């Protein structure tokens, strides 16, 4: 693979060099800021990953090679994903400028959506959908109504209908707090004797979740492998509500991620809920959802909303993935609160207004 480096004073200048030397089909592999500006590594083709490993008569050797390839592919995917935001910003800004000259209402709607924190791709899609409306306020009302309708929520009855709930998420996503909140939800209509908690992490760790279960006299199990989890679930047939606490997702490991191995092909009825922190970037949330797409995903639990400056990334991820909102973890009450699309958009507007006011105050101080 022939990789070339291009340096420009900013992203656009570097990308212009890439297109000039390698053509419109160039593939950007990495981007980083240097003393001279922005350095981009690009190529015209990726290596043929199918040639890296060939079938072997030795099953162990083949398994190791396949695992290495999975990790290599995952790492390459992460590098490419890290540039998505930069490319979308550069190309989206150019698209906005072109659209503003031809369709000013659509451009203004897209800019408002970006101000809410949505990615340029979804913002452009929504603006184009209602580009036939010529009056700005009417177009904005239609777009926000459509966006709210795409933010589906699970009712308390629907959430309670899932008997086996696995809480997944990245490191620091707040998934353990979300699992504890789900325990409390179960206790709202069940007795402790009807609920089971399965720990799939380090059994020696004394977490707040295990302490809560001990205090509430909830029966606890430990499972470190796929077979152990299957055995634990088989032993919990008496339980009407089962919460599974899992280790952090590791997208860098690809399909070799222990969490994917743990939860895949388990007994019917298992539903996975993804903890999405509102403090994370769009790329990170998209990566987590894409990484766990082969699991039986049932919904999203938003976390760390109290620490966030924007809800746009979460809204973008939920709408794009078409998953339902299962609830919002509230740090003040340590509980899972129902959340609707209307509430999400209202809070997103409030966050955006606060951010704009903060930027305006900073500009006044600078002047």
Predicted confidence band of residue 194 (pLDDT cuts 50, 70, 90): very high
pLDDT digits (tens, 9 = 90+) for 279-327: 999 889 999 999 999 899 999 999 999 999 999 999 999 999 999 999 9
Question: Distance of alpha carbon 292 from its chain centroid, rounded?
Answer: 10
Measured in degrees and rounded to the nearest 5, phi and psi for residue 267 equal -60, 150
pLDDT value for 86 = 57
Kindly report whether the global pTM for this prediction surpasses the value 0.85: no
Residue 37: beta bridge partners? 34
DSSP-assigned states of every residue in 82-117: HTHHHHHHHHHHHHHHHHHHH-HHHHHHHHHHHHHT
Can you tell me the distance from the alpha carbon of 110 to that of 140, in angstroms, rounded to the nearest whole number?
A: 9
pLDDT digits (tens, 9 = 90+) for 221-249: 999 999 999 999 999 999 999 999 999 99
CATH number of 156-348: 3.90.800.10, 3.40.50.300, 3.40.1350.10, 3.40.50.720? 3.40.50.300
pLDDT digits (tens, 9 = 90+) for 248-279: 999 988 888 999 999 988 877 899 999 999 99
Over the Cα atoms of the chain, what is R_g?
A: 23
């Amino acid at each position: 693979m022939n990789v070339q480096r291009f340096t420009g004073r900013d992203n656009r200048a570097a990308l212009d060099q890439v297109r000039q030397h390698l053509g419109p089909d160039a593939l950007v592999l990495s981007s980083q800021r240097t003393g001279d500006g922005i350095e981009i590594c690009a190529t015209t083709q990726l290596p043929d990953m199918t040639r890296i490993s060939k079938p072997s008569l030795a099953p162990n050797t083949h398994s190791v090679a396949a695992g290495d390839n999975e990790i290599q592919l995952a790492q390459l995917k992460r590098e490419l994903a890290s540039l998505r935001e930069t490319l979308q910003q550069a190309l989206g800004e150019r698209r906005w400028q072109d659209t503003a000259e031809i369709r000013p209402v659509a451009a203004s709607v897209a800019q408002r959506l970006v101000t809410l924190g949505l990615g340029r791709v979804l913002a452009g899609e929504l603006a184009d959908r209602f580009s036939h409306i010529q009056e700005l306020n009417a177009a904005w009302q239609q777009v926000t109504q459509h966006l709210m309708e795409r933010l589906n929520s699970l009712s308390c009855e629907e959430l309670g209908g899932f008997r086996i709930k696995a809480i997944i998420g990245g490191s620091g996503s707040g998934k353990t707090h979300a699992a504890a909140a789900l325990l409390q939800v179960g206790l709202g209509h069940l007795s402790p004797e009807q609920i089971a908690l399965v720990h799939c992490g380090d059994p020696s760790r004394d977490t707040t979740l295990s302490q809560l279960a001990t205090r509430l006299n909830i029966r606890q199990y430990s499972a470190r492998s796929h077979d152990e989890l299957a055995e634990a679930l088989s032993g919990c047939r008496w339980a009407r509500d089962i919460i599974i606490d899992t280790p952090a997702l590791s997208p860098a490991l690809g399909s070799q991620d222990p969490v994917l191995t743990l939860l895949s092909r388990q007994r019917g009825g298992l539903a996975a809920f993804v903890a999405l922190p509102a403090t994370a970037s769009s790329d990170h949330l998209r990566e987590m959802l894409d990484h766990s797409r082969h699991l039986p995903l049932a919904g999203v639990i938003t976390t760390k909303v109290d620490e966030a400056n924007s809800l746009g990334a979460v809204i973008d991820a939920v709408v794009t993935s078409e998953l339902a909102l299962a609830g919002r973890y509230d740090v003040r009450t340590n509980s899972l609160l129902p959340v609707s699309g209307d509430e999400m958009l209202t809070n997103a507007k409030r966050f955006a207004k606060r951010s704009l006011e903060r930027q305006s105050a900073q500009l006044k101080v600078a002047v």
